[in-house]
């Protein structure tokens, strides 16, 4: 009997800073591009704890999670493997500094996001901006 395969659980965080800025990290490893802070959930770890840990590891910021934005599960969202990401919206203060597997971390104005964005993070950022401006959440 073949072994059952499952998607890998991941988290991403839309980290908001004062001045209506959002934090992105430039990836150190493929696939290239700018991305939301995030990564894989460790065994025995909650999604919330993973989100806070990943944001801290990649940006140096202590993030307070405010909302669960949506769960993104398109099998094509990560070219390395099928992942399912719980995406949170959180807030922090200070200036980010890239660390761990982030080559660089910076805060951007919403109308000046860098390119290219990795994975499905352009879609996530559009959804997050809509949510922040209107309170409307993405529908399944």
- CATH code (residue 114): 3.90.79.10
Q: Is residue 30 part of a domain?
A: yes
Q: Is residue 41 part of a domain?
A: yes
Q: Is residue 14 part of a domain?
A: yes
Residue 72's pLDDT is 98
Which of the residues 48, 95, 103, 104 is marked catalytic?
104
Partners of 64 in beta bridges: 91
For 22-69, how does the pLDDT look when each residue is reduced to its tens digit (9 = 90+)?
999 999 999 999 999 999 999 999 999 999 999 999 999 999 999 999
pLDDT at 138 over 90: no
Whole-Å CA distances, 46 to 10, 11, 104? 11, 10, 26
Residue 19's pLDDT is 95
- How many other CB atoms are there within 10 angstroms of residue 93's CB atom? 10
- Number of domains comprising the chain: 1
Q: Is residue 3 part of a domain?
A: no
Q: Is residue 139 part of a domain?
A: no
Which structure tokens are listed for 29?
A: 């490893």
Which structure tokens are listed for 122?
A: 């352009």
Annotation marks residue 95 as catalytic: no
Residue 96's pLDDT is 97
Structure pTM?
Answer: 0.95
Q: Which helix (H) or strand (E) covers residue 108, if one does?
A: strand 102-109
What residue numbers bound the domain in which 37 lies? 8-134
pLDDT at 86 over 80: yes
Q: Is residue 25 part of a domain?
A: yes
CA 61-105-76 angle, to 5 degrees, is: 105
Q: Is residue 91 part of a domain?
A: yes
| Residue of higher predicted confidence among 77 and 102 | 77
Q: Is residue 140 part of a domain?
A: no
Calpha distance 127→57 (Å, rounded): 24
As a whole number, mean pLDDT of residues 66-89 equals 97
Calpha distance 124→116 (Å, rounded): 14
The number of residues making up the chain comes to 140
């Amino acid at each position: 009997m073949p072994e059952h395969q499952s998607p890998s659980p991941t988290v991403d965080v839309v980290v908001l800073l004062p001045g209506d800025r959002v934090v992105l990290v430039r990836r150190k490893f493929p696939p290239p591009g700018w991305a939301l802070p995030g990564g894989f959930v460790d065994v025995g770890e909650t999604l919330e704890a993973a989100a806070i840990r990943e944001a801290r590891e990649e940006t140096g910021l202590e993030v307070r999670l405010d909302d669960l934005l949506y769960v993104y599960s398109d099998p094509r969202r990560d070219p390395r493997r099928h992942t399912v990401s719980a995406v949170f919206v959180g807030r922090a203060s200070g200036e980010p500094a890239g660390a761990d597997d982030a080559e660089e971390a910076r805060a951007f104005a919403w109308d000046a996001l860098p390119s290219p964005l990795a994975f499905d993070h352009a879609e996530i950022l559009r959804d997050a901006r809509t949510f922040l401006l209107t309170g409307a959440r993405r529908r399944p």
